[in-house]
Amino acid sequence: MTTPVATREHAEGPARAEVPGCEPPENPVTKFLRTDRLPHIWCAGCGIGTSVNCFARAVDACKIPLDRISVVSGIGCTGRVAGYLRLDSFHTTHGRAIPFATGLKLANPELKVVVYSGDGDLTAIGGNHLIHAGRRNVDLTVICVNNFTYGMTGGQVAPTTPLQAVATTTPYGNLEEPFNLCHLADSAGAVYVARWTTYHVRQLQKSITKALQKKGFSFVEVLSPCPTLYGRRNRVGDGLAMERMFKERCVVKNGAATHDTAFDALAPGQIPVGDFVDRDRPAFLQRYNQTMRAQLGDDFMPYGEPEIDARAEADLFAGPEG
Amino acid sequence: MQADRIGVLTGVHFIDGDFAAAEGAIAAGCRFAAGYPITPSTEVVERLASRFPFVGGLFIQMEDEIASSIAIQGAVWAGAKAITVSSGPGISLMAEHIGYAAMTETPCVFVNVQRGGPSTGLPTLPGQADVMQARWGSHGDYGIIALCPNSPQEAFDLAVTAFNLAERYRTPVMLLLDECIGHMLEKVVIPPADEIEVVPRKLTEKKPGEYLPYLPGENMVPEMVKAGMGHRFHITGLTHDERGYPVMTAAAQEKLVRRLVDKIRLASRDVALYEGRWLDDAEVVVVSYGITSRVVHRAVEVAREHGAKVGQLRLKTIWPFPEHLIDQVLGGRVRSIVVPELNLGQLVLEVERVVRGRAKVVPIGHAGGTVHEVGVIVEAILEAGK
C-alpha cells in the first residue's frame, strides 16, 4: 500500500519526529535558503543548484556572519540565485550586477559582497564591467556559472558557446570563438581566479572559500550543464552525461598560466580546471585611503569608517529631529 | 533634521551651476557619487571628486553611464545618499536604471545638465529637449519627480530639495539643469547648516522577520532598510509583492505599478515649487522653466512697458506636472498662455492637456544651441494679448 519513496511528508512526518533523538538532521544548506520560495525554477539536471550548495557550504566554512553578506545577481537562470538565498539579496538588471555590487561594497566596506550570475550576463552584456572591476580590484567575489548558453531566453549563442555549437540564434553552428573566462579575468587583474565544474563539488567549495577570504577581486568560473537548452541541441546528453563528461575530460592544473587553460567543450580534449591565479594587489578602497591620506593628511575623512551599529543608527534617525 | 555641518560650505561663493549642484548634494548628505565624463555636466563630478575626501564621501568614475547609474543604487542599499550626473547621451544610457530605481523604490538623484540633441547634438550648447525623457525615459509606467533650477543659487537649493524628495517618496529624482545654468557663474549663498532642512532616510525600526520592504506606509511609501541590518531582504526589478518576492501575475502588477504611479501623482501639490509674477491682472501668462525663464523675465517686463497685461509662471517642479497651478492661472482673466522652451514643443503638450481649450496656448519652439531672443517672446506676448 505505501511506497518507500522518501517524500517531504515522510521525512518530517510526526510519526518519526515524536521519537526523541530520531529527528532527521537539518541539511546544513537549509538555513541559506528562502524555503518559502521553493520549488525553484531550474530544470532537472541543471548545475546551478549544485553550485549554490557549494557556495552555502563555503560561506559556512568562512564563518561569515550571515547578516553581513550580500548577494548580487544579474538577469538569467543564474540571476535567480539571489532570490533563493536567505541573505540580503539583490536581483539587478541584465549585466549590471558588478557595478551595483561595486556601489554596495564601497558604501559599506564591512559587507562581504558576492556577485552570483551567469556567463551571458557577466561576460557579454556585462563584459565591460567585469574587466573594469578586475582592473580597479574592487573587493568582490564573482561566481560565474558558465553553462555555455542563454538559458532563461531559450538557448541563444553566448560569448562562451563553443565554436560550431548549435543555438537558436546559430542554427547552422556558432561562428565565433568563445572567451576563455579565466584568462579574461586574469588579464583584467583579478587577484584570485579558479575554474571548476559542478562535478567537482569539494574543490569548488574550497575555491569559493578561498575567493571569499581573498581581499580584492576574485573570480570563480563554474562549468555547469544546461541539459535542456545546450546539451540536448548539441548531442551531449542529459545533466548526468554532462557531469560524466566533466569527470572524464577535466584535468586539474593548479597554478596553470591562464592562457593555457582554454578548452573546447564540444571537441574531445582536456578541460583544465583548478586554482589558476592567487596573488596580492591593493584593493580599490585600500589604495583610495592610502592615497588620500598621503595627499590630504589629517584633512582626509575616510569613507567606510567601521559602521556604527545599524540599529543604533536607525534609532538616531528616529530621534526628535527626524 | 538639520544638515551635517561637515558638508556645508557656509558662505558667499562665486561658482557655476554645476559646482553649486555638487555643493547642494553634499549639503543634503550625499556621500557617494558615480559618474562618467560628459559635457556640460562634468564639473559636477569634478567638484564632488575634489570635495568628497574632506567630508567622508567617495566618488568613483565608472566605465560608463550604465555602470554609474546602478553603482549609486548599490550604494543606496548600503545606506548612502547617492547621486549620478550626466547629459542627454549619458542619460539615455542610464534610462534602464532610472526605471530600476523607480521599480525598487531606491531614493537617488540623477542630474542632467541638458545640451542640444538628439544624439551627440551640441555638447557645449544649451537645450531643454530632455524634459519628456526625464518623465518617460525608462520603459514601463512609473512616476518621477523632476526639478528645473534657473540659477546657480537655485541649483544649490534644488539639489538639496531633490535629495529630500527622493527620501520622502522613495523615488529617483531628476535635477534638470541646462548648459547655461550649469556653466553660468553667479553669487551663491550657502546658508549655515542649521538653516538647511535635510530629510534623513527613514530606516525601519521593525525587527527582522517583521519587516516587509514593500509594505506601503505613509503616503503609500514603504520604509527603507539597508544591507547588513539583519533583515535578509530581497530586492528585484521584477514585479514583486510586499515581501519583495517576484510575482508574475496581472494582479501583482496592478497593485504595485498603480502604487508607484499614484504615490507620485498624489504628491503633485506637495512637491510643486514655482514662482509667479504679475499673475493677478494677467490676460497673458508665460509659462517657462530653467534658463528660458530668465529670458522670459525680461520679455515680460518689455511687454508690460508696451502695455500688455502679462504675467509669468515659472515652474521649478516640472514633474509631476503641476496641473493645479495651470488651473489656478486660468481662474483669472487669462486668455492666452505662451510657452517658450528650448525644444520644439514638449512641456507645452502638458499645458495644452490641462488647459483643454479654456485658453489659447502658444508654443514658442527653439531647437536649442542658444536661448530665445527677448524680442521673439515679446512679440508673441503682444500678439497673444490682442
Q: Are residues A312 and A249 part of one domain?
A: no
Task: With beta carbons under 8 A apart, name residues in chain B contacting A321.
Answer: 1-2
The predicted-structure confidence for A64-104, as pLDDT tens digits, reads as follows 999 999 999 999 999 999 999 999 999 999 999 999 999 99
**β-strand partners of A256:** none
Per residue in A119-131, pLDDT (tens digit) is: 999 999 999 999 9
Average pLDDT for residues A205-216, to the nearest whole number? Answer: 98
Among A100, A131, A308, the strongest candidate for a mutation testing the B interface, having the largest count of B CBs within 10 A, is A100
User: CATH code at A86?
Assistant: 3.40.50.970
Residues 6+ apart with CB under 8 A from B289: B128, B131, B148, B150, B314, B315, B316, B318, B341, B347
pLDDT 10s digits, B99-108: 999 999 999 9
- Nearest residue on chain B to A82, alpha-carbon basis: B234
Quote the CA–CA distance of A193 and A211 in Å, as a whole number.
Answer: 8
Q: Does residue A18 lie in a domain region?
A: no
pLDDT the model gives residue A24: 81
Question: For residue A17, what pLDDT is reported?
Answer: 52
* Reported confidence tier of residue A18, pLDDT bands at 50, 70, 90: low
Answer whether residue B205 shows pLDDT above 70: yes
Name, in order, each residue with C-beta under 8 angstroms of A78's C-beta and a sequence gap of 6 or more. Answer: A48, A116, A117, A118, A121, A145, A147
Assess if residue A9 is contained within a domain: no
Is residue A307's pLDDT more than 60?
no
Mean pLDDT of A287-295: 96
- In a shared domain, residues A43 and A140: yes
Mean pLDDT, rounded, for B4-18: 96
Q: Are B358 and B258 in contact (CB under 8 A)?
A: no
B265/B199 Cα distance (integer angstroms): 20
Residues spanned by the domain of A309: 286-317
Q: pLDDT tens digits for B129-183?
A: 999 999 999 999 999 999 999 999 999 999 999 999 999 999 999 999 999 999 9
C-alpha cell at B363: 508654443
Residues A165 and A290 in one domain: no
**Mean predicted confidence (pLDDT) in B5-31:** 97
Mean pLDDT computed over every residue of chain B: 97
pLDDT score of A11 = 46
Whether A248 is covered by a domain: the verdict is yes
Average pLDDT over residues A120-148: 98
Q: How far apart are CA A82 and CA B211, in angstroms?
A: 19
Q: How far apart, in whole angstroms, are the C-alpha atoms of residue B285 and residue B288?
A: 10
Q: Are A272 and A303 contained in the same domain?
A: no
pLDDT at A303 (0 to 100): 86
Q: Judge: A301–B228 Cβ closer than 8 Å, yes or no.
A: no
A252 residue type, one letter? V
pLDDT at A16: 53
Indicate whether A306 pLDDT > 50: no
Name which of A106, A112, A296, A308 to mutate to probe chain B: the one with the most chain B Cβ atoms within 10 A of its Cβ.
A106
Tell me: do A92 and A191 sit in the same domain. Answer: yes
Give the minimum alpha-carbon distance from A69 to chain B in angstroms, rounded to a whole number: 7
pLDDT of residue A243: 97
What average pLDDT does the segment A21-44 reach? Answer: 90
pLDDT in tens, B287-342: 999 999 999 999 999 999 999 999 999 999 999 999 999 999 998 799 999 999 99
Residue A14 has pLDDT above 60, yes or no: no
Distance CA A168, CA A162 (A): 14
Residue A136 CB partners (closer than 8 Å, separation 6+): A189, A217, A284
A182/A305 same-domain check: no
B226 vs A99: CB contact, 8 Å cut-off?
no
Question: What value does the mean pLDDT take over residues A182-206?
Answer: 98
Q: Are B126 and B370 in contact (CB under 8 A)?
A: yes
Q: What is the DSSP string of A104-121?
A: HHHH-TTSEEEEEEEHHI
Of B120, B113, B118, whose CA–CA distance to B87 is shortest? B113
Supply the pLDDT for residue A25. 84
**Burial of B240 (C-beta count, 10 Å sphere; 0-12/13-18/19+):** buried
Q: What span, in angstroms and rounded, lies between the C-alpha atoms of B233 and B212?
A: 8
Same structural domain, A291 and A263: no
Nearest to A83 among B6, B231, B246 (CB): B246
Contact, B27 vs B201, CB < 8 A?
no
The share of chain B scoring above pLDDT 90, in percent, equals 98
Question: How are beta strands B11-16 and B185-190 bridged, if at all?
Answer: antiparallel
CA angle, residues B274, B276, B280, in degrees to nearest 5: 145
What local confidence, expressed as pLDDT, does residue A23 receive?
78
8 Å CB contact of B63 and A132 = yes
**SS3 string of B298-329?**
HHHHHHHHCCCCEEEEEECEEECCCHHHHHHH
Q: What is the DSSP letter of B220?
A: G
In a domain, residue A262? The reply is yes
- Omega cis (within 30) before B53: no
- Closest residue by Cα to residue B32 from B94, B78, B68, B75: B75
Q: Report whether pLDDT(A309) > 60.
A: no
User: Could A302 and B71 be called an inter-chain contact, meaning their C-beta atoms sit closer than 8 Å?
Assistant: no
In the predicted model, what is the mean pLDDT of residues B208-227?
A: 96
CA distance A190 to A16: 50
What confidence score (pLDDT) does residue A21 get? 74
**pLDDT for res B366:** 98
| A232 and A208 in a common domain | yes
Which of B62, B109, B196 would you mutate first to test chain A, the one with the most A CBs within 10 A? Answer: B62
- pLDDT, residue A322, reads 29
**Start-end of H helices in chain A:** 8-12, 14-17, 48-62, 81-84, 97-107, 119-120, 127-136, 181-188, 201-213, 239-249, 284-296, 310-317
Does residue A313 lie in a domain region? yes
Are residues A234 and A304 part of one domain? no
Please tell me the predicted confidence (pLDDT) of residue A4.
44
Cβ contacts (< 8 Å) between A101 and chain B: which residues?
Answer: 74
For residue A5, what pLDDT band results from cuts at 50, 70 and 90? very low
* Minimum CA–CA partner of B68 in chain A: A99
In this complex, do B62 and A37 lie within 8 Å of one another by their Cβ atoms? no
Inside any domain, residue A290 = yes
User: Which pLDDT does position B268 carry in this prediction?
Assistant: 98
Q: Does A303 touch chain B (CB under 8 A)?
A: yes
CB A242 within 8 A of CB A271: no
pLDDT tens digits, residue range A216-270?
999 999 999 999 999 999 999 999 999 999 999 999 999 999 999 999 999 999 9
d(CA B349, CA B234): 39
Domains of chain B: 5-195 (3.40.50.970), 218-268 (no CATH), 275-385 (3.40.50.920)
Residue from B196, B226, B242, B247 whose CB has the most chain A CBs within 10 Å, to mutate: B226
The residue among A151, A127, A320 whose CA lies nearest residue A227 is A151
Smallest CA–CA distance, residue B98 to chain A, in Å, is 11
Please, are residues B212 and B204 in contact by the beta-carbon 8 Å criterion? no
Residue linked to cell 540580503: A88
Residues A227, A303: one domain?
no
- Judge if A240 and A310 occupy the same domain: no
Give residue A316's pLDDT band: very low, low, confident or very high (50, 70, 90).
very low
User: Is residue B306 exposed (0-12), middle (13-18) or buried (19+ Cβ within 10 Å)?
Assistant: exposed
CA distance A95 to chain B (A): 10
Identify the band that residue B90 occupies on the pLDDT scale cut at 50, 70 and 90.
very high
Q: Name the residue among B77, B237, B245 with its Cβ closest to that of A93.
A: B237
Residue A16 lies in a domain: no
A-chain residues within 8 Å CB-CB of B74? Answer: 72, 90, 99-105, 107
Of A67, A91, A108, the CB nearest to B236: A91
Per the CB < 8 Å rule, is B78 touching A104?
A: yes
Q: How many CB pairs under 8 A join A and B?
A: 172
Q: How many folded domains does chain A comprise? A: 2
Q: Are residues A306 and A259 in the same domain?
A: no
